[in-house]
Amino acid sequence: MKLIHGGVRLAIAPVILADYADWMNPRKTSFAIDLPSSSGFLAAYFPIHDPLIPISLLSTYEAAKVDVVELGIRTDEPFADGAIIAASMQRSGGVGTLSEARGAIEMVRAFEHRTLGMVFAYAENKLAPVPSEWAGVDGFLGLGDANTTNTRLTAEARAHGTRITTYVPYHLPQPAVARATGANGFVMLQYSEGKTGLRAAIDPELPARLRRLRESGVTRPILTGIGVSQPDQVRHAMDNGADGVVFGSILVQKALEGHASLEDTLGWIREALDGS
């Protein structure tokens, strides 16, 4: 991986690549060998059952060599999401169950690129009424505090071989940091304060926050997201120790504009992650 300020990435890169190879695609174990040394990991949100965003647009994600497709499942109360994703969830024809993402998961797992299908969902009892539904799901990010429902869903998912991604809010609350040290998927660190959405500001605190996570014992790949929608933000994250970036709102917005707009956006994202 590229050198960064303070040498943080240089010190952890061998571990990160091995861990990522183990999780990000257990079906293709050569991942660590042929991953370009300058490339960052790209996780990209895709809404499930939004009638204005056809599932066929997933082919654009494959062409952009997205590493993780974050499949968003409907909730009636998207408290952490801004207008773009909240509106998409309101349009969704789904009811908020894991089974609704099954077709998209199978499409993603068939990508030629080493791509995983991860479920993003708010922790609600209706998500997975039958624990065995987690079989074949590569990853899970359950949004919500460590309440009884989220704890149960996470345990059931992990028991069926699903890797758990841990979300760490901007100010790094200690319970979230502690959970991140036990993650077996990647760690998603909030880049900008507030709800999901489009922002252009560079976060001056990111280097210190990344450093604190590493010093706290986080060894999994750290991808930063929420409010990331500009190439400069991507380069800033990568230059300061992030292992990749999570994109959401901007991709939903561009998908609504059509295939060409989505393709162009994923193109500059990949270029920024690759250091172009």
Selected residue with higher pLDDT from 275 and 150: 150
pLDDT for the residue 22: 53
Band of pLDDT at residue 146, cut at 50, 70 and 90: low
Token pair for 10: 């240089």
pLDDT for the residue 145: 67
- HSE value, Cβ hemisphere, 13 Å, CA-based, for 249: 20
**Separation between Cα atoms, residue 143 and residue 210, nearest integer Å:** 21
| Inter-CA distances, 35 with 29, 41, 67, 112, 188, Å | 11, 10, 11, 14, 21
Residue 139's beta-bridge partner residues?
118, 163
Q: Please say whether the dihedral angle defined by the alpha carbons of residues 199, 248, 226 and 195, taken in this order, is positive or negative.
A: positive
Contact (CB, 8 A) for 118 and 73:
no
- The model's pLDDT over 171-183, given as tens digits with 9 standing for 90+, comes to 999 999 999 999 9
Domains contained in the chain, number: 1
Among 99, 225, 233, 235, smallest CA distance to 165 is for 225
Mean pLDDT value across residues 208-220: 97
Helix (H) or strand (E) holding 244: strand 244-247
* Single-letter amino acid code for the residue at 12: I
Q: Which domain holds residue 47?
A: 5-273
pLDDT for the residue 52: 98
Contact (CB, 8 A) for 11 and 243:
no
Strands in 222-225's sheet, in edge-to-edge order, are: 163-164, 139-143, 116-122, 68-72, 41-47, 244-247, 222-225, 187-190, 166-168
Selected residue with higher pLDDT from 10 and 129: 129
Task: Say how many C-beta atoms besides its own lie within 10 A of residue 37's C-beta.
Answer: 9
Q: Supply the CATH number for residue 135's domain.
A: 3.20.20.70
State the pTM of this model: 0.88
